[in-house]
Amino acid sequence: MQASMYTLSAPMFTRMLTNLSVILDKAAAHAAARQIDPLVLMGARLCPDMLPMSRQVQIACDFAKGSVARLCGEEPPKWEDTEASLADLQGRIARTIAFVQGFDTARFAGADERVVELKIRGETVHISGLDYLTKMALPNFFFHVTTAYDLLRRDGVEIGKRDFIGPA
């Protein structure tokens, strides 16, 4: 059986965002148990020029919603980056999952060959749906989910590989 563009995108985004939500629950519990201001976790960075953990979650959500919309030939919704708490980030994840789950297999017909148009650093780029998903969307999505995970792990949140990968 050949994998479809739907199978490679929407369920994967949903699964990993669900796992990220569980990780954020553990981060909130960690902060409460140790009397740490959750804003410390949200602002965590590995180095000064890096985006904070909260922004990593926002960008992961943006890649998930943007990818499914673009692959289906639609304009992705624009959401303000106003999340100011772990609960707000959870809300963004839930909203993203709901958006992604609104796309069924049929809407992905022709997505592998559909031309995706992107603005990157002021330049317009045209790329096939397959190349967009495999060379841009998924790598960027996983980069930001992994970075959020790593920042929380570094700050002592008791999470591991099973939390990242999720249940079998």
- CB atoms under 10 Å from CB of 165, counted, come to 11
The mean pLDDT of 109-119, rounded to a whole number, is 94
Q: Indicate the pTM of the whole model.
A: 0.95
How far apart are the C-alpha atoms of 35 and 16, rounded to whole Å? 28
- CB atoms under 10 Å from CB of 164, counted, come to 18
**Is the pLDDT at 1 greater than 70, yes or no?**
no
Tens digit of pLDDT for each residue in 49-80? Answer: 999 999 999 999 999 999 999 999 999 999 99
Tens digit of pLDDT for each residue in 13-58? Answer: 999 999 999 999 999 999 999 999 999 999 999 999 999 999 999 9
The mean pLDDT of 89-107, rounded to a whole number, is 97
Q: Which CATH architecture has domain 5-158?
A: Up-down Bundle (1.20)
Q: What per-residue confidence (pLDDT) applies to 168?
A: 82
Per-position DSSP letters for 50-98, written without gaps between them: SPPHHHHHHHHHHHHHHHHHHHTT-PPPP------SHHHHHHHHHHHHH
Q: How far is CA 122 from the centre of its chain?
A: 23
Tens digit of pLDDT for each residue in 115-156? Answer: 999 988 999 999 999 999 999 999 999 999 999 999 999 999
Residue-range domain boundaries for the chain? 5-158
How far apart are the C-alpha atoms of 11 and 60, rounded to whole Å? 14
How far apart are the C-alpha atoms of 131 and 140, rounded to whole Å? 13
